[in-house]
Structure 1
Amino acid sequence: MSLDLNTLADRLVRVPGIVGVSLGGSRARGEHTPDSDIDLGLYYRAPLDLDALQALADETTDAPAGLVAPGGWGPWVDGGGWLRVDGTAVDWLYRDVDRVARSCSDAVDGRFEWHFQVGHPLGFPGTTYAGELAHGVLLADPSGELTALRRSVAEFPPALRDAVVGRLDEARFLLGGAAKAVPRGDSAYVAGCLFRVLLLCAHALHAHAGRFVLNEKGAVTATGRLAGAPTGFADRVHALLAAPGRGPAALAASLRRAGEILDETQDTVARNASAHRPQGEG
């Protein structure tokens, strides 16, 4: 079968339960390489006709690819299947449209929480579904439901920006906790804290740039490309996480460097907040 995403999306929305289809990931951002996967979000409302969906997968894929039932991969990466079509990896990823609607509502209201999900070491923000709609490309939406949800988060919600930036307080707390492990030379604990501190900075800088972070993969590099990001952000973070060190002296030095990045991040978002504050607001 020749890979035509629009034709495939039209066929997918004929499966009972499928509400719409979107293109996500690097392909949606125009940052893909020839080897990049194609990520298709399959927005559904239960009951999903898994047999009909499997039959379409069998017709579409180069080799057998079993689909899992909703919930089969965890609470947030809901399920789907890994297909190959014309030699290209095509990922079908379920999205419960009612949960997506709640995610958009949370984003608008500034509710920002982390959730456990295998494959996401930092955690899975509950507003990720909203971000996927905001940054993705709708391929099929016959009812217009996804278009309406996307419109609600097309402009990054100010309340969400405040909530994400507010998590820098957690980053500051983590640095203090990590310092207590330095005399013991506890490299593993310090490295874990450093990862979270620096990724919280990436989220905050993205939020102030009006963008969602949808995955930890590539987030540091993407942050370095943001206008106003601390100088050399990506190179500094990669270098720090590549070698946090062993022994108290090296670990203390790594925490100081992370603290400098956190300070610069807080200065950046504070400066941006001042620039966008309505006149007369103190």
Structure 2
Amino acid sequence: MVVEIANRLAEAGGVVGVCLGGSRARGTHRPDSDYDLGLYYRQPLDTAALRLLAGELTGGTVEVTEPGGWGPWVDGGAWLTVDGLHIDWIYRDLDRVHRIWQECQAGHFEVGTQAGHPLGVYSHAYVGEVSLGRILVDRDGELTALQEQTRSFPQPLRESLVANARWEVPFTLSVARKGATHGDSCYVAGCLFRAVGLLVQALHAAAGCWLINEKGSVQSAGHLLLAPTDFSARAHALFRALDTAPDDLSGVLEEADRLAADVLENLPG
């Protein structure tokens, strides 16, 4: 069914190819996991045709957004339920993906604010989606060629992400102490989340692994060769004992300092 839907999607004007992403593509899905279909397009995208197809598949009215309808990074798409299956259509501007791939090779990345991504969307996630996805429709072979190019993680991007963690993690934990002295557990929690997220990004980069988003990233980082053997357990433990007592918050930050040191000393560069 999913392949059939992908073929129908490719008939809409502007759609260049369709790629199955997420846990379904990586083989890590659960029985109830969604099917994420990336619609790689160039403007103008025929959203009217997509709305007609969504209605035909579901037998009802489905909100199908224009590009940009879900924000600057997720872009847009639709959420469908087809014969009991949850199928998400997610737009990806193919020219933007190409541009970000060029930036990755030069060691550049950016982090964008986006609902549903508390750490922010790292631009190279666009490239990782192509690299790790399962291509279902590729009219001119463009997605296949890009996937082949992105199999190898660029060394300049690896160095940039590791270098970023080296300065920002200690800085983030140091400013968290200002909140700890006032019992501001919310601020401390935010700093801890960012620090752990930066470590996770650096560990994946050092291992040459594309990281798509924050979900499950601490667990996956814990399986990487350069991670401390107890990384995941220690990272999660930082968030279990947060309260408003300054001494307790300071103790948590000391644990975070030790975890950061154990990670950063093993990273290359």
Give the aligned partner of residue 143 of structure 1: 140
Q: Which runs of 4+ in 1 moved over 3 A?
A: none
Asked if the contact 2:183–2:243 (Cα under 8 Å) also holds between the matched residues in 1, the reply is no
Select which of 216, 219, 222 maps to 2:214.
216
Superposed CA RMSD: 1.3
Determine the structure 2 residue equivalent to 1:200.
Answer: 198
After the TM superposition, which residues 36-51 of structure 1 pair with which residues of structure 2 at under 5 Å, given as runs?
Answer: 36-51=33-48
2:52 corresponds to which of 32, 51, 55: 55
Deviation of 1:152 (Å)? 2.2
* 1:226 matches 2:214: no
| Gapped regions of structure 2 (runs ≥ 5) | none
Distance 1:65 1:243, change over 3 A: farther
Q: Which residue of 1 aligns with 2:157?
A: 160
Task: Tell me how far apart the structure 2 counterparts of residues 115 and 250 of structure 1 sit (CA, whole Å).
Answer: 33
Which stretch has the larger CA shift, 112-121 or 221-230? 221-230
Post-superposition shift, 1:243?
A: 2.7
Structure 2 partner of 1:276: none
Identity of aligned residues (%): 49
Counterparts of 1:25-174 in structure 2 under 5 Å? Answer: 25-61=22-58, 63-168=60-165, 169-174=167-172
Residues 96-124 of structure 1: CA deviation (Å, up to 9, x unaligned): 11111111111111102111111111111
The answer as to whether partners of 1:107 and 1:153 remain within 8 angstroms in 2 is no
Following the alignment from structure 1 to structure 2, what is the Cα–Cα distance between the partners of residues 155 and 54? Answer: 37
The SS at the match of 1:227 is coil
Residue of structure 1 equivalent to 2:238: 240
TM-score, with structure 1 as normaliser:
0.92
Measure, in 1, the Cα distance between the counterparts of 2:219 and 2:162.
19
Paired residues, number: 268
Distance 1:62 1:237 in 2: 45
Question: What's the counterpart of residue 255 of structure 2?
Answer: 257
20, 23, 33: which one aligns with 2:20: 23
Counterpart in 2 of 1:279? none
* Offset at residue 62 of structure 1 (A): 5.5
Instruction: Provide the rounded CA distance (Å) in 1 between the counterparts of 2:6 and 2:179.
Output: 52
Distance in 2, matches of 1:62 and 1:261, equals: 52
- Give structure 1 stretches of 5+ with no counterpart: 274-282
CA distance in 2 between partners of 1:210 and 1:245 (Å): 37
- Displacement, 1:242? 2.9
Deviation readout 1:135-157 (Å, 9 max, x if unpaired): 11111111111122222221011
Of 81-90 and 180-189, deviating more is: 180-189
Deviations 1:219-270 (A, max 9, x none): 1111112233112111111121233332111111111111111111112213
